[in-house]
Amino acid sequence: MEVSSFLSKYENQITIFADYLEEFPDTDELVWILGKQHLLKTEKSKLLSDISARLWFTYRRKFSPIGGTGPSSDAGWGCMLRCGQMMLAQALICRHLGRDWNWEKQKEQPKEYQRILQCFLDRKDCCYSIHQMAQMGVGEGKSIGEWFGPNTVAQVLKKLALFDEWNSLAVYVSMDNTVVIEDIKKMCRVLPFSADTAGESPHDSFITSNQSKGTSAFCPAWKPLLLIVPLRLGINQINPVYVDAFKECFKMPQSLGALGGKPNNAYYFIGFLGDELIFLDPHTTQTFVDTEENGMVDDQTFHCLQSPQQMNILNLDPSVALGFFCKEEKDFDNWCSLVQKEILKENLRMFELVQKHPPHWPPFVPPTKPEVTTTGAEFIDSTEQLEDFDLEEDFEILSV
């Protein structure tokens, strides 16, 4: 490839770190990025490397039309979907590669990295593509090409995850600002499939085993948890009383950041410095990238090597969604302890964490894949099949 064509291909990405090291002030303050801290004065390059390692999804153009006849670009409407993809991609990286994994340009990466990336390509047969997300949004009352809010993206990811057998995530989206420990454990504790429990749901067999052998005899497996907490932190702007608790969430080792931004302008928030939130911005339109002949994806346009974007926390729209990833049950238990200690201590709590399912709510039923004639992500070609979904998540208590 000639130098000129290489430069034009990656014109948005080629930036030397030194050019924007000065973007951050030279202070002794700590910067928090998705549960990791960096000392700004001595670790700037390490900080910028950590930010650029996150998968960056932006508007794209020239992909196959969504639904066959729909848009072939998501510019102007897909920013929240792209932010949802970024949050989920971070969960998958934590699941397969670990939070400490780092990306270097043109360095060979583990095969899991390429497989994660391929989940998000702009093709209808990729399980978390813009095609799948937009079409699954129809079941949430959103037309293709219509802007999503944080809660809608969370509900869409929850449904699409049911068709993703490789990652096998349990996705829990909290309701009415309340996270229910009992419901999460019911959804995430699963038993390895065996002949003697065939025909039973994992939860049924878990109960049966515990009843027959005593609770200490069985240690169920844990389905990795993607926990999303949609919140309204004010009426027209964020209430300053929530600022400290909101920032505290980025310090938790389970942090996947937050979806939010400004009306019709979504960003993926990954950390903070003082009262400045650090975010990845999807509002750059790049050309569709597909797998190459060798089955690999050229990943140069999926990492942001530009200056990190910042926004004062008080300029944040109050409608947000926090994300957390708990690979094992002990990670979830640790998260619960941190929430008790840092979030529930506030007089005006950002959200509630309760042990038992509230009695006035409908019963909790872990989501299951609907019965369809084909399997995998490619089944969602028409909106008729979306009617098979259980819509219990539509029951949201706004205020009583």
79 in active site: yes
Q: Which of 176, 203, 244, 283 is catalytic?
A: 283
281 in active site: yes
Measuring CA to CA, how many Å separate 234 from each of 19, 276, 300, 317, 350?
A: 37, 19, 38, 8, 10
Q: Which of 38, 74, 79, 94 is catalytic?
A: 79
Please count the residues of the chain: 400
Look-up: residue for tokens 């409608």?
319
HEC per residue, the chain? CCHHHHHHHCCCCCCCHHHHHHHCCCCCCEEEECCEEEECCCCHHHHHHHHHHCCCCCEEECCCCHHHCCCCECCCCCHHHHHHHHHHHHHHHHHHCCCCCCCCCCCCCCHHHHHHHHCCCCCCCCCCCHHHHHHHHHHHCCCCCCCCCHHHHHHHHHHHHHHCCCCCCEEEECECCEEEHHHHHHHHEECCCCHHHCCCCHHHHHHHHHHHHCHHHCCCEECCEEEEEEEECCCCCCCHHHHHHHHHHCCCCCEEEEEEEECCEEEEEEEEECCEEEEECCCCEEECCCCCCCCCCCCHHHCCCCCCEEEEHHHCCCEEEEEEEECCHHHHHHHHHHHHHHCCCCCCCCCEEECCCCCCCCCCCCCCCCCCCCCCHHHCCCHHHHHHCCCHHHCCCCCC
283 in active site: yes
Q: Which of 281, 317, 326, 331 is catalytic?
A: 281
Residues tagged active-site: 79, 281, 283
